Amino acid sequence: MAKPRNALRGPLDYGKSPLLIGFGIVVFVLLYAPIIQLIAFSFNDSKRNIVWQGFTTKYYRVAWENAALVEAFTNSIAIAIMCTIFATIIGTATALWLWRFRFPFKAAAEGVMALPIVIPEICMGIAVLVMYSRVGGWMRTFESGPIHWWNELFSIWPLNLAAITAAHIAFSFPFVAVVVRARLAGFNRELEEASKDLGASEWQTFVNVVLPYMKPGIIAGALLAFTLSLDDFVITFFTAGPETNTFPVKVYSLVRRGVSPDINAASTVLIVITLVATVIAMRLQQQPDKSKG
């Protein structure tokens, strides 16, 4: 018993290997250190961001008083909320469609639906840019045109924001579909049959049996769409006109000029929002399945 700790370790207990644990700790530290530094320096009372000079929240006020930054932030949140609503509805419908039906060319349909997830973002960004530039002129004649209700509509939700939102929905709803479909895979279809045998209509069965089962998946998908939209830089960078900014696009233009503590403050706010949404989504996805009999 010269090495009691090693004697306790079986040949497959790699989880107890000090080498692996040490490596893991180093990786975790390196992964989080830059982010923690960014958050810490948003509270640092120094413009140059190198040495700790004392705690302050003044850079949050500086960021808050920067009208362009706040407007970009509001745009981002507004787009993310609209995107979440649409992407969740469309994604859920798509998940139901692919889960429930057998139809010709289904494999091809699944492949195409997964395409926005796999292709490089930049390709989608420029594709949408090209389409908007084609349709743009035509749409703008309507925007300032004689049709009154159309005008009204765009005074509530400006065309630029709508254009970005539409692109965000297109790349985020396939993610929602994947999450909801993964949830549906565990659904016992006999429950649906039982409901219909007992006289419930298609709609009643959907609302009372299928929908409650899907709920954690739908919420997780919705939060995923929210973070995807809030985080997107590339696609917004290409689709946004010069007069519309979202938060990441605005930060990009600031970052090119250098590091400054008010960007740290604004970034910290965004990090907190995203992380809260993500943690909730992950918890919901890992929830043990109670409705499975």
Partner 1 sequence: MENWKENRIVFWVTALPGVFWLTVFFLIPLALIWGMSFGEKTSIVDIEVTGTLANYVRSFESVYVQIIWKSIWISALSCALCLAIAYPIAFGICFSPPKWRPLLLLLIILPFWINLLIRTYALIAVFRTRGTLNFLLEWLWNLAFMDKLIGPYQPLELLYNNGAVIVGMVYVFMPFMVLPLYATIERLDRSYLEASLDLGASQWTTFWKVTVPLTMPGIVSGVILVFIPMLGMFLVPDLLGGTNAIMIGNVITDQFKAANDWPFGAALSFLLMYVTFLALALRAFIGARSRGRVGV
Chain centroid, CA 74 distance in Å: 16
93 touches partner 1 by CB under 8 A = yes
37 touches partner 1 by CB under 8 A = yes
121 touches partner 1 by CB under 8 A = yes
Between 20 and 81, CB nearer to partner 1: 20
Give the DSSP letter string of 8-42. Answer: T--TT-GGG-HHHHHHHHHHHHHHHHHHHHHHHHT
Between 41 and 154, CB nearer to partner 1: 41
Tell me which residues in 58-87 interact with partner 1 (CB under 8 A). none
Which residues are CB-neighbours of 273 under 8 A, at least 6 positions away? 230
H or E element that contains 216: helix 211-231
219 touches partner 1 by CB under 8 A = no
Q: How far is the CB of 67 from partner 1 (least distance, A)?
A: 21
User: Residue 231 and residue 164: Cα distance in Å, rounded?
Assistant: 13
Neighbour tally for 39: CB within 10 Å: 15
Q: How far is the CB of 150 from partner 1 (least distance, A)?
A: 18
32 touches partner 1 by CB under 8 A = yes
Q: Is 246 helix (H, G, I), strand (E, B) or coil?
A: coil
Tokens of 223: 């939060």
Q: How far is the CB of 148 from partner 1 (least distance, A)?
A: 25
| Binding region for partner 1 (CB under 8 A) out of 66-74, 77-85, 154-162, 273-281 | 273-281
Between 148 and 232, CB nearer to partner 1: 232
251 touches partner 1 by CB under 8 A = yes
x/- string (CB under 8 A) for partner 1, residues 1-20? Answer: ----------xxxxx-x--x
Helix 67-100 to helix 261-286 angle (10° resolution) is: 20
Q: Is 44 helix (H, G, I), strand (E, B) or coil?
A: strand
280 touches partner 1 by CB under 8 A = no
| Binding region for partner 1 (CB under 8 A) out of 60-68, 146-154, 207-215, 224-232 | 224-232
User: Residue 83 and residue 141: Cα distance in Å, rounded?
Assistant: 25
270 touches partner 1 by CB under 8 A = yes
| β-strand partners of 55 | 44
User: Residue 43 and residue 283: Cα distance in Å, rounded?
Assistant: 30
x/- string (CB under 8 A) for partner 1, residues 39-58? Answer: --x------xxx--------
217 touches partner 1 by CB under 8 A = no
User: Residue 238 and residue 127: Cα distance in Å, rounded?
Assistant: 9
Near partner 1 by CB under 8 A: residue from 68, 123, 185, 194: 123
